[in-house]
Amino acid sequence: MQVQKTIKFKVGELGKRKQGRLDFVLNNGLSATKEFLRLALENKTTSNIKLHRLGYFEIVKKYNLPACIVHQARNKAREVYKSWKTNKFRLREEIKLPKLKSLRVRFDNVIFQLIETDNKKYPYFVSFLCERGRSGKQDNRIYVPIIANSEWQKEYIFGLISKKYKKGSADLVKKGEDYFVHIVIGKEIYIPQLNSSFNPIGIDCGINNLAVVNVSGKPKFFSGGEVLWKKQNYGRIKSILQNKKATKKLRQICKKEKNFVDNINHQISSWVIREAKKVINPVIVLEDLKYIRETTKVRKKQRYAHNSWAFKQLQNTIRYKAYWEEIPVIFIDSRYTSQICPKCLSVNKRQKHNYKCSYCGYQANSDFIASINIQKRFLEAISFPENSTHKSAERDDLLMFNNSPKICELNLRVSPPKPKAEAEDYNSVKVLGIQNTNIL
């Protein structure tokens, strides 16, 4: 299967002339998109063919752009118009057609090229078409240096040049006075078959600890304290803004909140993958979110944060990054993982964050206990496959995987082991406050 990634590069120093040419393609690209959008609105059309007929030749001539950029402009205008037109709240809330502002032009992988040079300061250049050639001549190409200082950026460039990675499209973007190139790269990956020689890395997701990762018996805690506080704050601001119908401010806050969550997820997942790569035959073991509702205890004031915390997104980020490194990922049934003693398998109540086994006296943080048990469930699944159900999972939530018709992922589900304690304990577990909460 193939996975894709977008890598961002800053463009190096440019002379006035080159800057002018880039500005030309960015500004004219934007104007062309605006023009197509106006045509779509006037003619009330979402058809690409009709838009093409209405404005293509005129716009190519007027803005002196290569055909590929005009095509992109037309497609974008159509998308913008279509999503506005189909917005249900458009009429009721008087939502206007969005004003196009961003300076961004896309080049497909045929037009855009990556070149290695002898230039000492900038060894790598990208090139793309930027103006239409004079009658009968070829379109004009521009060569732009990119800055690739970090090791990982270099790794991707080497991979593209040596054809280890597949070249996708590239976007030229201007932000403030700076130019950037966003390159999409693809990789063909192979996920190995699991067996008992694999070393599981168990990850418990929660609120007090966003994630507890168990790598070779050592726990790593990602505390959720600050996140909980911030999320509650965002929740308060959002409800005030919603009441005031301040949509613009609300959108800003939502964006801020999203960036905050993305950043935290990125930090956790990067750490996990870095550590996993140090392990021989690693496999990442996550909780099946189907069960997380039953297993997570939520206090009332935490509910907002809990309901909106993106466990699913964190899991997806971990899985996507793991697959890029060809590390297998499985999902297990996580019921009772924070209540079973890993030493003697008896069921005990957790006291807030502490866990103490009343049979053997084993004591630890309850989220850590969960991560140990999650890890153990993998070994059970491998040793007793008859208890588990294999499912080749084609999950539609795997948006980051483009062009993958089949995701042959081992989705092992293991039923929890029968605890030694009596059925009574299960009832008391309910009394303890396991609630059905909608978290996602």
Q: Which residues contact Zn ion by CB under 5 A?
A: 341, 343-344, 357, 359-360, 362
Which residue number, 331 or 355, has a Cβ lying nearer to Zn ion?
355
Q: Choose between 324 and 362: whose C-beta lies nearer to Zn ion.
A: 362
Query: Cβ closer to Zn ion: 343 or 390?
Result: 343
What distances in angstroms separate CA 385 from CA 123, 150, 370, 379, 394, one per listed residue? 53, 44, 21, 10, 21
CA 420 to CA 380: how far, in whole Å? Answer: 17
For Zn ion, the closer CB: 286 or 341: 341
Give the Cα separation of 324 and 165 in Å (integer): 11
Spatial distance between the Cα atoms of 375 and 378, rounded to a whole number of angstroms:
6
Cβ-proximal residues to 136 (8 Å cutoff; 6+ apart), any chain = none
SS3 category, 66? coil
In 148-288, at which residue ranges do the beta strands (DSSP E only) sit?
166-175, 178-188, 199-205, 209-215, 218-223, 282-287
Q: How far is the CB of 243 from Zn ion (least distance, A)?
A: 51
Say if CB 283 and CB 327 are below 8 A apart: yes
CB of 361 to Zn ion, least distance (A): 7
| CB of 429 vs Zn ion, minimal distance in Å | 17
Calculate the alpha carbon distances from 229 to 237, 302, 303 in Å.
13, 9, 12
Q: Which is closer to Zn ion, CB of 43 or CB of 428?
A: 428
Least distance to Zn ion, CB of residue 343, Å = 4
Min CB(345)–Zn ion separation in Å: 7
Q: In terms of CB distance, is 240 or 344 closer to Zn ion?
A: 344
- Least separation in angstroms between residue 364's CB and Zn ion is 10
In angstroms, what is the minimal distance from the CB of 156 to Zn ion? 48
If the CB atoms of residues 101 and 418 are measured against Zn ion, the closer one turns out to be 418
> For residues 319 and 377, which CB has a smaller minimum distance to Zn ion in the complex?
377
CA 372/CA 200 separation, integer angstroms? 10
Radius of gyration of the chain (CA): 27
Comparison of 328 and 342: residue with beta carbon closer to Zn ion = 342
Neighbours of 247 (CB within 10 A): 13
CA 297, CA 306: separation in Å to the nearest integer? 10
In whole angstroms, give the CA distance from residue 111 to residue 10.
19
Choose among 174, 170, 30: nearest CA to 108.
170
Minimal distance, residue 368 CB to Zn ion, in Å: 14
Contact 252, 377 (CB under 8 A): no
